[in-house]
Amino acid sequence: MKYIYLDHSATTPINKEVLKAMRPYLGENFGNPSSLHYFGQKARKGVEDAREKIANFLNCKNDEVFFTSGATESNNLAIFGLIKKIRKQNKDRKLHIITSVIEHPAVLEVFDQLKKEGIEVSYLPVTKNGLVLEDDLKKAIKSETLLVSIMYVNNEVGTIQPIAEIGKLLEEINKKRTPEEKIYFHTDAVQAANYCDCKVSYLGVDMLSFSGHKIYGPKGVGALYVKKGTPISAIVYGGHQEQSLRSGTENVAGIVGMAKAIEMIGKKDNLKIRKLRDEVAKKLLAKIPDAIYNGDREKRIPSNANFCFKNVEGESILLMLDMEGIAISTGSACSSGSLKPSHVLLAMGVPQEVSHGSVRITLGKENTKEEIQKLIKALPPIIKKLREMSPIK
């Protein structure tokens, strides 16, 4: 059977060019970039060229890019690192931090942890379309506010948050505050990198996280942009790599691959992906009764379609499609081991019983019209079959 992959927000296949760029660093260029000899310098060059490419993409300085093991680590470093540094400077300072209710667990659970440690946390709500409102942020800001962390694009419903607008708002507010009172702004841009403008000057962010494996690059590698002058402490200790902010021998091949992937991000794919996605949404909504399209119709990345089908359960849909060779997801990949309904859909006001019937279809560069037609053909009978099985009609 030929399998069809429609789960690109979980991860993406490695691009051939990316793999080609990585190969030498898994072979002859195996050196440790911290070594001074020939082998080390070859590896160092790979890492530094990669840093430059990423800095170009973000429109920042090379030494503002820090390599990590992925976005989870980038988010942890950004948030814990800032708090740690500020506490070192003044351990009695009262702190308040703000995030949104729809963040990925790699941000939400960091905030939950800090809350347990006694820091005041505000969680911004979202509209029924899954968007954070600037006004809600304005209302949440206090004199003690130190950090705002809002994701650029939501991983479940694909909504694009008003990051540049929030950046401007915070810039205005910060003008009226002393440097000690500055509110720092972090964004998790993992799901945005393929489709949205990630120039940090445009966004007005102090820190930005992203990950290699969502952009047709390798897994286990990511980066954190940290604007010069942002107070931040390391959260792991060791050999002082990455300006001592992130110790540990660099994942050279991964870093090179991620940079190549960034270089290859193409606007021309977006149009094609959007067309296919719109076709999926239109046809499925027409063919399947009691279907709800979740998220905003305009402010969403071109790859994402998220539905709730009433009186069916997401996992059953996923497994039945899988048996037909089509890979999709319920809510998000990491929540498939959990019984709890999607925190994102609940925050958007989707009733709990409806949220159980949610599926996420995320397209990628290589998907074809034929593949999409197969999905459009396969899904309606599956929903029908599962509904026939259900005691609730």
Ligand X SMILES: Cc1ncc(COP(=O)(O)O)c(C=O)c1O
Which one of the listed residues 60, 198, 308, 334 is annotated catalytic?
334
User: Which of ligand X, another protein, none does 244 bind, CB closer than 5 to 8 A by kind?
Assistant: none
Q: DSSP letter for 181, please.
A: G
Q: Of 89, 94, 323, 369, which one interacts with another protein (CB under 8 A)?
A: 323
Q: Of 138, 340, 369, 377, which one interacts with another protein (CB under 8 A)?
A: 340
Shortest Cβ 371–ligand X spacing (Å): 23
Between the alpha carbon of residue 113 and those of residues 76, 203, 347, the distances in Å are 11, 27, 20
Q: Quick one: which H or E segment has residue 210? A: strand 207-211
Shortest Cβ 352–another protein spacing (Å): 6
Q: Is 301 exposed, middle or buried (0-12, 13-18, 19+ CB in 10 A)?
A: buried
- Report whether 295 contacts 350 (CB < 8 A): no
Smaller CB separation from ligand X, 316 or 342: 342
Smaller CB separation from ligand X, 106 or 288: 106
- Report whether 43 contacts 32 (CB < 8 A): yes
Please give the Cα distance from 215 to 193 (Å, whole number). Answer: 7
Structure tokens at 393: 């009609």
Q: Which of residues 98-157 bind another protein (CB under 8 A)?
A: none
338 binding another protein? (CB under 8 A): yes
Residues in contact with ligand X by the rule CB under 6 A: 70-72, 104, 106, 151, 155, 188, 190-191, 211, 222
Shortest Cβ 389–another protein spacing (Å): 6
312 binding another protein? (CB under 8 A): yes
User: Which of another protein, ligand X, none does 8 bind, CB closer than 5 to 8 A by kind?
Assistant: none
Please give the Cα distance from 43 to 26 (Å, whole number). Answer: 10
Shortest Cβ 302–ligand X spacing (Å): 16
Smaller CB separation from another protein, 256 or 354: 354
User: Which of another protein, ligand X, none does 356 bind, CB closer than 5 to 8 A by kind?
Assistant: another protein
Sign of the four-CA dihedral 173, 175, 181, 183: positive
Please give the Cα distance from 74 to 78 (Å, whole number). Answer: 6
- Neighbouring CB atoms inside 10 A of 202's CB total 14
CA angle 374, 15, 154 (to 5 degrees): 70
Q: Is 20 exposed, middle or buried (0-12, 13-18, 19+ CB in 10 A)?
A: exposed
User: Which of another protein, ligand X, none does 118 bind, CB closer than 5 to 8 A by kind?
Assistant: none
Residue 334 is among the residues annotated as catalytic for this protein: yes
Residue number, nearest CB to ligand X: 70
Q: Of 244, 266, 319, 377, which one interacts with another protein (CB under 8 A)?
A: 319
User: Which of another protein, ligand X, none does 337 bind, CB closer than 5 to 8 A by kind?
Assistant: another protein
Shortest Cβ 163–ligand X spacing (Å): 13
The piece of 49-57, 114-122, 124-132, 351-359 that touches another protein (CB under 8 A) is: 351-359
SS3 131: coil
Q: Which residues are catalytic?
A: 334
